[in-house]
Amino acid sequence: MISLSSQQEANSITKTIDFTVAIPTWNGAERLPQVLDRLLAQTGIERLRWEVIVIDNNSSDRTPEVVRDYQTKFTQCDLKYFLESQQGLTFARLRAINEAKGKFVAFLDDDNLAAPDWILQSYNFGEEHSLAGAWSGQIHGDFEVKPPDNFSQIQAFLAVREHGQKPYIFDAINLKLPPGAALVIRKQAWLESVPQNLVFKGRLGNLMVAGEDTEVLLHLHKSGWEIWYNPKMEIHHKIPHWRLEKNYLIKIARGCGLCIFQLRLINTRKSQLPLILLRTTLGNLRRIFHHIIKYKYNLGTDTIALVEVNFYLGSLMSPWCSLLFYFHRLINK
C-alpha cells in the first residue's frame, strides 16, 4: 500500500518509476484534454513516482501540439510524446511497453476518463497481488445519447464492464477477459510472456477484426500469470452517438466474433485443434438457430438481436479468418 512508504523511498533513491500511464491515440486532439485533466487531478499519489506517455499513431490533427501544451502543466510527473508510424493499436501498445519506465503500465484510451483515485487503486492492487500479470476495473459508459433498450446485453462490445463490487480472477480458458481500455499490465509479465509479433494488429480495414486485447492476456495466462478484476478501479468511457448506430454495432460485434478461433488456439495443443474446430462450428450454429427461433420476425428490426447474431456469425466464420491470417503470415515472412 502507498501508506507504507519504504518501497517508494527506495525507488526515489534509485530513480525508478513505479507507474506509467500510456495513452495510445489517433487524431485525439479533441479528446485528450479531458483525459489529461483527469490525470492531473489524481489524488493520494504524492509519494508515487509516475509518468504519462502519449503514443501518437499517425494523427493528422493537433495531437502533438495538445501534448506539448500540457507538458508545462505536468509538474508532478513527466508527460512524454512518442510517434508510432506503424498503424494499428497493437503497434502503439508495443511501443508504449518499450518506452515505459514504470513497473506497472496502465493503458488508457483517449476517451477514458479516470476516477480521482484510479492510479492509486491500480498501483495498490498490483503491489498486493504479486501473481497478477494484468488487472482491470469498472468501465462505465458515458453516453452522448441514450442507448437502445436492453443495451446491457451487448455493452461489452463497447468496452463497458460493470461486474459488481467483489474482485475475482477472470476466466481466461473461456475467453472471459477484460478489454484493453484501462487495463494495467505488470511490465515484467509482458516482457516475459508476450511475443513481439502478435497476430491481431487492431481494428484495421472494413472487417474491424478485434482480438488484440485478448491475445495479449491469453499469452500472460499461458505463462502462469493471473488476470484480475479490481472493482476499486473506475473509469468513464465516452461514447459518441455514432458508436450506438446499428451498422457500427453490427461491425463491432462481427469483428469480435471473427477472432474467436485464432484466440482459442493460443492455449490449445495441436492435437486438440479438430475438437476446437468442431466446437466452434456446432456451438455457433446452435446459437444462431436458437436466436432465430427466439426472435423470429423481429430479428431484422431488433438492434440488440442483430448485434448478437452477428457476433455468432463472426464466430462461426472465425476458423476461415484464422486461415487467412496464417497465409498472410506465410506471405510476409
The domain locations on the chain are: 6-244, 257-331
pLDDT category at 10 given cuts 50, 70, 90 is very low
Higher pLDDT, 326 or 233: 233
pLDDT at 328 (0 to 100) = 58
| CATH topology assigned to domain 6-244 | Spore Coat Polysaccharide Biosynthesis Protein SpsA; Chain A (3.90.550)
DSSP states of 78-121: EEEEEE--S-SHHHHHHHHHHH--EEEEEE--TTEEE-TTHHHH
Extract long-range pairs of 166-173: CB within 8 Å, 24+ residues apart: 166/231, 167/228, 167/229, 167/230, 167/231, 168/228, 168/229, 169/226, 169/227, 169/228, 169/229, 170/217, 170/227, 170/228, 170/229, 172/217, 172/218, 172/221, 172/227, 172/267, 173/267
pLDDT category at 16 given cuts 50, 70, 90 is confident
pLDDT at 15 (0 to 100) = 58
pLDDT at 300 (0 to 100) = 78
pLDDT at 204 (0 to 100) = 75
Lookup result for grid cell 502503439: 92
Higher pLDDT, 86 or 207: 86
Tell me the per-residue pLDDT of 211-254, one tens digit each, with 9 for 90 and over: 999 999 999 999 999 999 999 999 999 999 999 999 999 999 99
2 pLDDT higher than 60: no
Question: The pTM is what?
Answer: 0.90
pLDDT at 333 (0 to 100) = 58
Q: Say how far apart CA 327 and CA 324 lie, in whole Å.
A: 5
Please, what is the angle between helix 303-331 and helix 246-258, to 10°?
50
168 pLDDT higher than 50: yes
pLDDT at 5 (0 to 100) = 42
pLDDT category at 210 given cuts 50, 70, 90 is very high
184 pLDDT higher than 80: yes
- Please give the average per-residue pLDDT across 188-217, as a whole number: 92
